[in-house]
Amino acid sequence: MSAYELLRIERDGAVAIVTIDRPEKRNALSAQVRAELIAVLDALRDDDAVRVLVVTGAGDKAFVAGADIGEFAQRTPLEQRAAMTGRRVFDEVAAYPKPVLAMINGLALGGGCELALACDVRLAADTAKLGQPEINLGIIPGGGGTQRLPRVVGTGQAMRLVLSGEIIGAAEALRIGLVDVVHPAAELRERTLEFARGMAGKSPVALRMAKSAVRAAAEMPLAAGLQYETEAFITCFGSDDKREGVAAFLEKRTAEFTGR
């Protein structure tokens, strides 16, 4: 995967670690970074050896400090619309069939916070800082911040962050539900990978169905969501993984899932 100029890809068993490697720019989401992220998602989508993805930033200062402001400083509305047309990395991450974990090792601001919001689980260093400071530039979040953030932390807290541009620490982000787990910075990588390895040991079929069903909860009324869950549950019954999981439970052994 040496074709990526601004990403580093590592394997840890069934876990792929995708590191945005622009520390001199605090890992800002340039157009090239976004395109390479989409390309690596595509490359790993059908790779059965990868069951869980972890996204992080290089260094210890930033996960992603935001968009690359220099790229859009002089754009007209029509130029910006063209730049936002087509596949968008935030939506690609949210819709990805495999679990995607955000390992937030530092600043996650603007587009960086939105990238984390698109991930399925957010694990942060105790030194991390998060926020949507776009209002300070005379603009608003444009990568899902006004939509995913209220669904994660509630309308009031989303309004607080979006309208004020306030940047909050990891402890406050945990309190309001913006991140799910906080670890000491020195332990973040190993604790995150330990969590990811455990998840990667589950049935890939069940992981895919579970992620899809939980995501559906944010989009559907309760009755429709419950029906969606029922259908996903039934779908699992057609898999080899279900048969293996049940057999392993009854035989008191560890299941060996194949993803089929």
Residues taking part in catalysis: 114, 134
Place of tokens 């990868």: 50
In angstroms, rounded to a whole number, what is the distance separating the alpha carbons of residues 134 and 77? 16
Q: Answer left, alpha or beta for residue 212, where phi above 0 means left and psi between -120 and 50 means alpha.
A: alpha
Terminal CA-to-CA distance of the chain, rounded, Å?
A: 26
**CA nearest to 259, candidates 209, 206, 215:** 206
Torsion of CA 243, 249, 252, 255, to 10 degrees: 60
The amino acid that residue 30 corresponds to is S
Q: Which two tokens stand for residue 115?
A: 């990238």
**167-169 and 129-131 strand pairing:** antiparallel
Q: In what side-by-side order are the strands of the sheet with 181-183?
A: 7-12, 15-20, 52-57, 100-104, 121-125, 181-183
User: 22, 63 in Cβ contact below 8 A?
Assistant: no
